[in-house]
Amino acid sequence: MSKIRKYLLVGLLMSPICVSAVSAHAQEVTIALGSEPTTLDPQLREDGGERAVNDNIYETLMARRPDGSLVPGLAAAPPKLVSPESWEVKLRDSIRFHNGEPFNADAVVFSVKRIINPEFNSEQVSFFFTIKDAKKIDDHTVRIFTEGPDPILPSRLYWMKMVPSGYANNPKFAEAPIGTGPYKFVRWNRGQDILLEVNTDYWAEKPQIKKITYRFVEEPGTRLAGLKAGEFDLVTNLLPEFTQEVPKATHVLGLEHPIIILNADAGPTKDVRVRQALNYAVDKKALAEGLYEGFAQVAQGQLLSPSFFGFNKDVGPYPYDAKKARSLLKEAGATETTVEIIGTSGRWLKDREVVEAVAAYWDDVGIKSKVRIFEFNEYLNRLFDRKTRADAIFVVSSNELLDADKSFSAYYKAGGIGSSNTDAELAGLIDKARTETNVETRASLYHQAVKRAYDQAYFVWLLNIEDIYGMSKRLDWAARVDAKMLVKEMRVIE
Amino acid sequence: MGRYLLKRMWHGVIVIFGVTLLVFVVTRLVGDPVKVMLPLEATLEQRAAFEKQLGLDRSIPLQFLDFVGDVAHLDFGDSLWQHRPAMEIVFEKLPLTIQLTIVGIGLAFFLSIPLGIIAALRPGGIVDRTTVFFSLIGFSIPQFWLGLLLIVIFAVKFHWLPTSGIGTPTHIILPAITMGLPALARLVMMVRSAMIDELNQQYVKTGYAKGIPFWRVVGVHAMRNAALPVVTLLGWEVIRAVAGYSVVVETVFAWPGIGLTAIQAIEREDLILLQSIVFTVGIMVVLINILMDMVYTIIDPRLKLQ
């Protein structure tokens, strides 16, 4: 008995070593996420943890290449506009869900209707609010109807996961998902981990990695420790200052843009010269290097990354020119004026530091900046306050659809939830672009909007932040611009 | 005894209700889950619809009436964040925190008694001074830092133990030590000072004079009298562990207990889940206090008369 106990004890003490040894040779990866999914129903929540897992189990009609370009996924070809308010989608043949259910027009119609059903109450509905209905034409053709013309529909379809019409009604669906994707669900030990294994019947190229384990570690320092100890192969949201410590890191220009919204209607920032001066006054490059260790790029004078639809390549950043800022302020008679800047702390990477650095740059050219950092809820009260807009509000905008519409409707357009201007012409451009189905015309409308906002300096465009992932030595992967962690694109190298 | 217990329980009910009420008021004063949970760019209409869905569009007095009903049913409804019964989440997470507390504080308690006694036998001696020195370090170390330090040494450097998570018995070692070490330090100091007081009492000398063996004088007679403050501190440590340390320790070690869940509920402004956690932990605190009172009367029967 005592011998058995001894072996048991030795075994116990060795078990973590064995665990890391096992994961080191087989084609398995362990990924540490910041939070555990609240559900594995892919259509219900706005939940980063859920998305990270389900992106490997489920697929969408449209997909994106790592560089962000839109390509057909489960669709055989990009959706075709058949009338201003309806799109036709041809589906790929002979694809099956993991439980054998066929993927066909019925599944698509079911998936669309499920997610837009008001009773289903999906948190993702803000991505799909223009979709009215879907109809089966034949087994592999579906028509999707929109409320008014909706040129962004193909991008929206990239966000809508296709679920099996039969199994999705099963009460187990939210705990044991079934999709068409490269990985199949195995087990979810709540609080502990989620296991997936490769789908051997996958319709496209078979992934190299056979098994995935997801772990949930909220604390960045602990995620880093797990990576260094060899327990994890991939960790998300690595802090810039840790990049030197990890075995490997991959980074890519992400979806987040920190900007400062200037009040164009009242106060000292009403004068366009002051707004321009506030842009010239900030050394964006120094912010990127000083605060983000170089893991950020100077924003191109617009709330869009080069990979987004609507990006205007003829507009660039306001250069850092303190002299020009001073002379513009003098011209406007605004030297020594007080500009209040609102920010928050701990919500976004380096949020407080950015605001403080910007304020210091402003002070440098003769502004008297007044920094006010609020707790997030109180901060949101000011961001959403439609009656009295603060002179300057710091915000980080994130755009998952990679299309100008969402960010522009919220921040550029007069009356948008975080906008501080009443520019009717700008609003007109954005409204027109929203329903313009001709791709070129639409792009040109956004180009005009970008240019106009740039000339009027409605914002201080700061940076475009990079997403950084820490990786083990044996993992080979390049991060994607849309922040999806598709394991089928990863390889284990030994 | 029975009447005394009843009175204590009644006090407990008042305390729990007061604390939960405070949470209700504070969360509704400062928090708005709708703002935090939807994407920043969501429109006003989408926000209004979501508010209605959560039942937060009703007036505060109406919400309060619901709240009182919830307290009576011991059920606060579905978590706003996880969309399943909040109490279900609490009961799923609580055992893990209790497990961590029992191992961590239990270890601290059983180690503190011999260490404290040995130190007390020769106050000012080398053993005593060493114990005091390490105890001071023990309760001065910030717990999150201690946790990270242990991870770096035992998991990253030597690969002896896992860095975080649950699953095997080895997973509990580092978080339990992190939770128990500051408690051990305080308990050792308490055992030590209580024992020094007792060993200077006349009855100890009498005991020796009567020829009672050393171990009996120290271990039975003096210890029993020294136990009262130690038990008080132990109860306090258990309460602090469940309602306080668990937040830090569980966050550092990704231990999915009630402390980590509380932090997550606060971050997501999940009023319902937060209420349920505070309510449940409140009950535990009251129960532990009552339990401590009962232990007192066992250790020192004189207390029964009061």
Whether residue B36 has pLDDT greater than 80: no
Query: For residues A291 and A270, what is the distance between their CA atoms, to the nearest angstrom?
Result: 30
pTM flag (> 0.80): yes
Least CB-CB distance to B151: which of A126, A192, A222? A222
pLDDT tier, B304 (very low <50, low <70, confident <90, very high otherwise) = low
CA distance A347 to chain B (A): 10
The pLDDT tens digits of the residues spanning B53-70 come to: 777 777 878 888 887 788
CA distance B175 to chain A (A): 12
Query: Which among A67, A45, A178, A195 is positioned nearest to A122, based on CA atoms?
Result: A45
Instruction: Identify the residue whose tokens are 């976004």.
Output: A348
Whole-angstrom distance between the N-terminal and C-terminal Cα of chain A? 41
Whether residue A9 has pLDDT greater than 60: no
The phi and psi torsions of A402 (rounded to 5 degrees) equal: 55, 35
Asked if A45's CB is within 8 angstroms of B148's CB, the reply is no
The pLDDT tens digits of the residues spanning B269-280 come to: 888 898 889 888
With a CB cutoff of 8 Å and minimum separation 6, the contacts of A458 are A261, A262, A264, A275, A412, A420, A421, A423, A426
SS3 A198: strand
Least CB-CB distance to A190: which of B46, B92, B151? B92
Check if A45 contacts B (Cβ < 8 Å).
Answer: yes
Write down the pLDDT at residue B305. 55
Number of Cβ atoms within 10 Å of the Cβ of A17:
16
Interface test with B, best of A19, A218, A431 (most B CBs within 10 A): A218
The three-point CA angle A163-A167-A173 to 5° equals 80
Check if A171 contacts B (Cβ < 8 Å).
Answer: no
A63-73 mean pLDDT: 92
Cβ under 8 Å to B: A residues 113-152? 121, 123, 125-126, 129
User: B199, exposed or middle or buried, with CB in 10 Å at 0-12, 13-18, 19+?
Assistant: middle
Interface test with A, best of B84, B164, B255 (most A CBs within 10 A): B164
CA distance A439 to chain B (A): 24
Write down the pLDDT at residue A250. 94
Check if A374 contacts B (Cβ < 8 Å).
Answer: no
Lowest mean pLDDT among A21-30, A99-108, B109-118: A21-30
A192 contacts in chain B (CB < 8 Å):
165-167, 256
CB contact at 8 A, A234 and A472: yes
Whether residue A6 has pLDDT greater than 70: no
Cβ under 8 Å to B: A residues 284-343? none
Asked if B96's CB is within 8 angstroms of A191's CB, the reply is yes
pLDDT tier, A260 (very low <50, low <70, confident <90, very high otherwise) = very high
| Per-residue buried b or exposed e for B77-101, using 16+ beta carbons within 10 Å of the residue's own CB | bbbbbbeebbbebbebbbebbbbbb
CA distance A322 to chain B (A): 33
Complex ipTM: 0.84
Strands A338-344 and A392-398: parallel
CA distances to A297, B12, B19, B285 from B15, rounded to whole Å, are: 54, 5, 6, 10
Write down the pLDDT at residue B204. 86
Query: For residues B163 and B149, what is the distance between their CA atoms, to the nearest angstrom?
Result: 11
A230-244 mean pLDDT: 91
CA distance A137 to chain B (A): 32
Asked if A225's CB is within 8 angstroms of B152's CB, the reply is yes
B261 contacts in chain A (CB < 8 Å):
none
CB contact at 8 A, A391 and A263: yes
All structural domains of chain A, each given as residue ranges with its CATH number in brackets, are 18-56+172-251+467-492 (3.40.190.10), 62-168 (3.40.190.10), 257-466 (3.10.105.10)
| Per-residue buried b or exposed e for B47-70, using 16+ beta carbons within 10 Å of the residue's own CB | bebbbeebebeeeeeeeeeebeeb
Query: Which among A488, A493, A418 is positioned nearest to A204, based on CA atoms?
Result: A488
The pLDDT tens digits of the residues spanning A364-410 come to: 999 999 999 998 888 988 898 888 899 999 999 988 888 999 899 99
The pLDDT tens digits of the residues spanning A160-175 come to: 999 999 999 998 999 9
B219-227 mean pLDDT: 85
CB contact at 8 A, B285 and B18: no
Write down the pLDDT at residue A310. 93
Q: Which amino acid is at A13?
A: L
CA distance A33 to chain B (A): 11
User: A446, exposed or middle or buried, with CB in 10 Å at 0-12, 13-18, 19+?
Assistant: buried
Check if A478 contacts B (Cβ < 8 Å).
Answer: no
Least CB-CB distance to A39: which of B83, B164, B263? B83
Instruction: Mark out the alpha helices in A46-91 (DSSP H runs).
Output: 48-57
What element of type H or E holds A297? strand A296-298
